[in-house]
Structure 1
Amino acid sequence: MERILSDCISQLARVGFVTARQPERHRVRVQFRDTVTSPLVSGWLPVLTPRASADMAFDLPDVGDQVLCLFLGNGLEDGFVLGSMYGAQTPPVASGDKFHRTFSDGTTIEYDRKAHKLTASVKGDVEANVTGNIEVRLQGNGKVEAVGALDMTSAAKIGLNTPALTMGGAKGGGTNAETQGNIRHRGNIHVTEGDVTVNGISFLGHVHDCPHGGITGAPQ
């Protein structure tokens, strides 16, 4: 009796490897190697997911993934894939404090609750489309670096509210700025080691006709 019961249980829950995927139906085929004769392959088995209605989650195992299957007692055609299992070739992250996700292209997303740090390494582009507002509040410092160009576009305005604004060139060099439109400034403007040119006329080098004849010298 115990042998029969043990055999029944072993047929209900089985470990196998994914051999084929059907993403549009969120199901896979699984091969089992724990048989006396040749390996058996299941029918199409749905993969359990956290949500599959108004809210949806999609995360299908890859071909070759080790999975745990539960069958309903009607053979290998009627069952479910409960989830994937780690093996010797793919060990898990060795930390109980980390939520970690690695994708096959090398992209990783990780949160370390002990270090209070969220890390994302994306091997490609990142795109976010937001229909509402975005607010980012930093208790520390912020930094944005770009190897290429960095563009900002606004249909209304771009506002900067800061007690000090510093612009510097890359690697200690100079900085070029170009604007179109009107500029209104309140306060003093100090120019060192440079000049101001208006419509091709230099502020430091311009001269005037002298009412007593000749021309004046450049501004001192």
Structure 2
Amino acid sequence: MILIGRVSTSDAVAGSVRVTFADRDDMVSGELPVITPGGWGRGNAIPLPGERVLCVFLDNGRSAGFCLGTYFAEDDPPSGTKDQRGVWFEDGSYVYYDRTAKRLNIKGTGGMKIEGDLTVTGIVSADVFNTKGGV
């Protein structure tokens, strides 16, 4: 069974959510694991309370299921353009690649922290540096 609902609670540590289903008399699910891409670069994007999600249940009850994730809707369109892929954050920060411009764009509204060795190859524009005790 596939149902659409809204997240009522989320648990980032467990990677799960509880979901309320308005079309089922506001029934609340048990803890549902959130499906994420696997492999060597796992994400931690757990849907937040209030977000719309798509859920799938393995039986007619609501005891065994998964949250497949959020989805875009008319009142909540995706950020960027069709040629941009990345992550846009609520504070205005972003990391995205623009395939038309062939450019990786990064903005940290609260600054950026880079740990470890850093190698820059290419031309560096003079206007990109703010001399706060550094280059």
Q: Is the shorter-chain TM-score for this pair beyond 0.5, marking a shared fold?
A: yes
Query: Which residue of structure 1 lines up, in the alignment, with residue 103 of structure 2?
Result: 117
Query: Which residue of structure 2 lines up, in the alignment, with residue 129 of structure 1?
Result: 115
TM-score between both structures, scaled by the size of structure 2: 0.85
Q: Which runs of 5+ in 1 are unaligned?
A: 1-11, 153-220
Query: Which residue of structure 2 lines up, in the alignment, with residue 150 of structure 1?
Result: 133
8 Å contact kept, 1:30–1:42: yes
Residue of 6, 11, 21 corresponding to 1:32: 21
Residue of 100, 103, 121 corresponding to 2:86: 100
User: For 1:18-42, what per-residue CA distance to the aligned partner results, in whole angstroms no more than 9, with x for missing partners?
Assistant: 110111101001111223xx21111
Counterpart Cα distance in 2 of 1:95 and 1:127 = 27
Structure 2 matches for 1:67-216, cutoff 5 A?
67-93=53-79, 95-130=81-116, 133-138=117-122, 140-143=123-126, 144-146=128-130, 149-151=132-134
What is the CA distance between 1:55 and its match in structure 2? Answer: 5.1
Counterpart Cα distance in 2 of 1:32 and 1:114 = 41
Q: Does 1:44 align with 2:31?
A: yes
* Secondary structure of the corresponding residue to residue 25 of structure 1: coil
User: For 1:33-70, what per-residue CA distance to the aligned partner results, in whole angstroms no more than 9, with x for missing partners?
Assistant: 223xx211111100011237x75421111111111111
Choose between structure 1 and 2: higher strand proportion: 2
Q: Which runs of 4+ in 1 moved over 6 A?
A: none
Residue of 11, 34, 39 corresponding to 1:22: 11
Let me know the Cα RMSD of the aligned residues.
2.1
What is the CA distance between 1:127 and its match in structure 2? Answer: 1.1
* Secondary structure of the corresponding residue to residue 129 of structure 2: coil
Change in 2 beyond 3 A, CA 1:92/1:57: closer
8 Å contact kept, 1:66–1:87: no
Higher Rg: 1
Change in 2 beyond 3 A, CA 1:145/1:55: closer
* Secondary structure of the corresponding residue to residue 34 of structure 1: helix
The one-letter code of the counterpart of 1:142 is S
Q: Which runs of 5+ in 2 are unaligned?
A: none
Counterpart Cα distance in 2 of 1:141 and 1:23 = 39
Query: Which residue of structure 1 lines up, in the alignment, with residue 2 of structure 2?
Result: 13
| Bigger relative contact order, structure 1 or 2 (CA pairs below 8 A, ≥6 apart) | 2
**Residues paired across the two proteins, number:** 134
